[in-house]
Chain A
Amino acid sequence: MLRAENLTKRYRQGEKEVVALEGFTYTFPRGATAIVGPSGSGKTTLLNLLAGLDLPTEGGVYLGEIPLHRLSEDERSEARLKHMGFVFQQWNLIPTLTAWENVAFPLLLAGWPPAKRRARALALLEGVGLSQRAHHLPNRLSGGEQQRVALARALALDPPILFADEPTGNLDAEAKEEMAALLFQAGKERTLILVTHDLELAARAERILHLKGGRLLREEVPRKVP
């Protein structure tokens, strides 16, 4: 379970102090939570803080009982490796590694033996329908395929928390639908935190958090279409 308490992030821009996020308090339950809001509302800042990629000016993030914001850089890296998976908007695959090697990368960090890494990576790629593309470099894959590789990579160590930042932002309609299906399927058994502009995508989550001006405006439970 991931909990944010009075999460605040301020930074200086020249002489001016900018408040990117202020007093955000929320406990993320299992299932999909979408975070929506206009540009500059603090969505990316919030995700950075929740994932321990950045540190808050005030408040804290708790991973179960672990205060993520009090850990060192390397301890936060280890926490991310063990507990979190990421799917970014820009795919962010390692360009010199093939699809299966990209998926196996977190397993390498976790110290898995080579044969197990390969088997797990190939199984995950099969799960996202890319077993035929396992040995291709990222530049030989389409945008949708790259995003599915990124999802497989995020799931490599079966993390309880999955972050997705605009995961369908760069995809065409068909690839977007494929990706959304896979993402929400993966999010069923874990805490999925989805940052998006896309209200249609957000509506598929179990709850939506609306941010504006760095503040949590409201929480909404979308009406499901029967």
Chain B
Amino acid sequence: MEVFYLVLRNLLARPVRSLLTLLGVLIATASMVLFLSFGEGLRRALFQELSRVGPAIQVVPEGSEGLAFSAYPEITPTQVEALKRAAEALGAQAVIPTLFLARGGLDPQNSFFFQGLPPGVSPDLLYPGLRAKEGRLLPSKGGAVVGAKLAERTGLAVGSPLRLSPQVTLKVEGILEESGGLADNLIFAPLKALQMVLGTENVGAVLVALSPDKKAEEVARALERAVPGLKAQTTGEVMRFAERALRISDLVRFGISLVALAVGGLLVANTVMMSVYERTREFGVMRALGAKRGFIFRLVVLEALFLALLGGVGGLALGGVASQAINLYTQSEVGLALSAVTPRLSLFALLVALSLGLLAGLLPAHQASRIPVVEALGRV
């Protein structure tokens, strides 16, 4: 019969109330875990993708840092030429101008993302390890190569036509093997064709591949000096930028989940307060028998902490299951696992749940430990 046993016996003596409180904390924690799991999922997916990108430097227009490719192509042919000359002088292995084009709507089933490649540049130079499952890997002037999941989702096959505009229609020439990355959901097409669709000769980004002996940060700074108006980002810089953005979004989502957490905390506080009120005499007896104030305080706080811990663990499990369910859906729809319950998120959720329990238990515990013994015993 240790103190913890006393706590357990008291909670079991009022099973319905304890269970309802537990459910409140459980749901609050699960909702927080789910909210925050999106940030963790995005972080994981982004870092996996960036680590798969071959070229070490991405050059984008100033002001669109962090986005690997700007929404609208702004880098002019003159800037591309100047970059090529500077990169060659700095010993770069390859300089690849590229742009992205999105076609379709909000429905992922009907959305198509194109990446433009200059003549002779194969998709596996950008995403090392890519291989063709059917047809060819390097698209011809009027052809396109489709990522595995996109092909599966949309039913595109070798020979299928892709009408980008009244003037531009491409033919699918290859289907890629599944790589588990962004390339599974892309269509690789000739850069010229995409520029024609957009009516521009500009590109969205220029990728610069380096030999392993070159320091990416140094080359990036040299490129920025050589071509003003552009920002050369290393993979590490993009990751840091993304991390900053994700942290802000984490805070926003945590703020939203605080509402649920506050409700859970109030439930625990209410349960413990009710329990203290009902057990005033019992605490008086304990004090009369020799229990110190700290003993009563610990007893009440432990009750709140125990409820919060159980609810936290349950909420974590429920959040994990919900996260898996969401991933099943997003993987089938867009090929990405957008939610992740990572060890640090699990630890954070448990700490938040325990802090909640502690906060909810402090006031009732203080009250329980301070009530005069004769009053508690009804002996006034």
* A, B bound: yes
Per the 8 Å Cβ criterion, residues 63-92 of A in contact with B are: 73-74, 77-78, 80-82, 86, 88, 92
Neighbouring B residues of A54 by C-beta, 8 Å: 372-374
- B288/A80 in contact, CB under 8 A: yes
The residue from A51, A74, A95, A114 contacting B1, defined by CB atoms under 8 A apart: A114
A83: nearest chain-B partner, CB-CB: B290
Neighbouring A residues of B286 by C-beta, 8 Å: 94, 105
The residue from B12, B285, B292 contacting A78, defined by CB atoms under 8 A apart: B292
**Contact A74 B292, CB 8 Å, known A94-B286, A101-B1, A117-B1:** yes
- B1/A77 in contact, CB under 8 A: no
> Does B293 sit at the interface, judged by CB under 8 A?
yes
The residue from B1, B281, B374, B379 contacting A97, defined by CB atoms under 8 A apart: B1
Main secondary structure, interface of B, reads: helix
- A77/B292 in contact, CB under 8 A: yes
A73 to B290, CA, bound (A): 10
Per the 8 Å Cβ criterion, residues 1-53 of B in contact with A are: 1-3, 6, 9-10, 12-13
B3: nearest chain-A partner, CB-CB: A108
- A53/B373 in contact, CB under 8 A: yes
Number of residues from A at the complex interface, CB < 8 A:
30
- B377/A53 in contact, CB under 8 A: yes
> Does B289 sit at the interface, judged by CB under 8 A?
yes
B8: nearest chain-A partner, CB-CB: A96
B7 to chain A, nearest CB (A): 10
Number of residues from B at the complex interface, CB < 8 A:
26
**Contact A92 B291, CB 8 Å, known A48-B374, A97-B1, A101-B1:** no
Per the 8 Å Cβ criterion, residues 338-380 of B in contact with A are: 372-374, 377, 379
Neighbouring B residues of A109 by C-beta, 8 Å: 289-291, 295
B289: nearest chain-A partner, CB-CB: A106
Neighbouring B residues of A86 by C-beta, 8 Å: 288-289
> Does A104 sit at the interface, judged by CB under 8 A?
yes
The residue from A44, A78, A117 contacting B290, defined by CB atoms under 8 A apart: A78
Neighbouring B residues of A82 by C-beta, 8 Å: 290
Contact with A along B87-107 (1 / 0, CB 8 A): 000000000000000000000
Neighbouring A residues of B282 by C-beta, 8 Å: 94-95
Contact surface of A with B, Cβ cutoff 8 Å: 44, 48, 51, 53-54, 73-74, 77-78, 80-82, 86, 88, 92-97, 101, 104-106, 108-110, 114, 117, 153
User: Nearest 6 CB-CB pairs, A to B?
Assistant: A81-B290, A96-B9, A74-B292, A92-B285, A96-B13, A53-B373
Contact surface of B with A, Cβ cutoff 8 Å: 1-3, 6, 9-10, 12-13, 281-282, 285-295, 372-374, 377, 379
Give 8 CB contacts A-B under 8 Å.
A77-B290, A77-B293, A81-B291, A82-B290, A92-B281, A92-B377, A96-B10, A97-B1
